[in-house]
Amino acid sequence: MMCLFRAGTVFLLTALFGACAPKMSELVLDTGKVPAREVLRRVSENAAGITTLTGTGSVDFESPELGGSVFFTLALRKPDSLLITFEGPFGMDAGFLFLSRSRYVLYNRMENRVISGVPSEAGIRWGIPLDLTVDQILDAFTGTFRVPGQISPTRYAIDNENFLLTYEQPAGSESFWIDPATTLITRYQKTGTRLNVLAETALPEEQDSRHLPRQITLVFPDSGRRLSVYYSSVTVNPERVSFAYTIPRSAIPQ
């Protein structure tokens, strides 16, 4: 009986201390104890572990020309495949965007127009009223941002309970705010170039031992443009991801 009591006590204490112990993914918020290269390694490791993604949600966009909101269903495979199906009010089919590095197809069902070609900022803007590259669109829907891997940061500090890494280069600067618990980039800022960008992520979620944000916002201050993505549901690394789409025969080429 005593042995059972001791065994039960040991199990209970182990469970309690195990519950209080930090997760393996957490980092101590101390630049003296955690080198910058370890923070970057964790960020890259988490992002690299997300190879496919499916989800539903809404996109809000603002620009000097127009603004609005639309629902979407998404399928994504890194590093270069994306299919977004857009829906208007009451589930109305509004069209889709298929994107890869060698080809894009945009279909606007409301106007029954289709355009395709090699991705460029001008072409992508036809479907999304923002000047975005392929990488920036993928970043916008995954909440991941490419961190420099071959150079050391010019500044490594703690800011607002996040690791802050800044890289100063002749073309401008890049800054990354990284959450120590999830190793997600909660804020990203790029300045001094032709296209200044400010990005923020929120509502982190853990799936398949990986973290990703359910809300991503990109702001382009020079042009007064803004893109916000919110996932109502999301699945990391699903077994099947479909990129099939259909263009009506009556669609008018642009």
Question: How many CB atoms sit inside 10 A of residue 7's CB?
Answer: 10
Per-residue pLDDT, 141: 84
pLDDT value at 74 more than 60: yes
Reported as a single tens digit per residue, the pLDDT across 89-129 is 656 678 999 998 888 898 988 889 998 888 765 555 555 55
- In the chain, the percentage of residues whose pLDDT exceeds 90 is 48
Sequence-separated (6 or more) residues with CB below 8 Å from residue 94:
70, 86, 87, 88, 108, 109, 110
Per-residue pLDDT, 121: 58
What is the greatest pairwise CA distance in the chain? Answer: 82
> Three-class SS of residue 163?
strand
pLDDT value at 219 more than 80: yes
Per-residue pLDDT, 115: 87
Mean pLDDT, range 59-86, rounded to an integer? 88
Query: What is the torsional sign of CA 96, 48, 40, 151?
Result: negative
**Any idea what the Cα angle at residue 20 is, between residues 160 and 162, rounded to 5°?**
15
Sequence-separated (6 or more) residues with CB below 8 Å from residue 101:
80, 119, 134
**Integer angstrom CA distances of residue 184 from 21, 120, 195, 210:** 20, 28, 23, 10
Per-residue pLDDT, 20: 38
Q: Which CATH superfamily is domain 35-253 in?
A: Lipoprotein localisation LolA/LolB/LppX (2.50.20.10)
Side-chain-side CA neighbours of residue 253 (13 Å): 2
pLDDT value at 181 more than 90: yes
Confidence of residue 5 (pLDDT cuts 50, 70, 90): very low
Which one is predicted more confidently, 133 or 117?
117
pLDDT value at 232 more than 60: yes
Per-residue pLDDT, 29: 96
What's the mean per-residue pLDDT of the chain? 83
Model pTM above 0.85: no
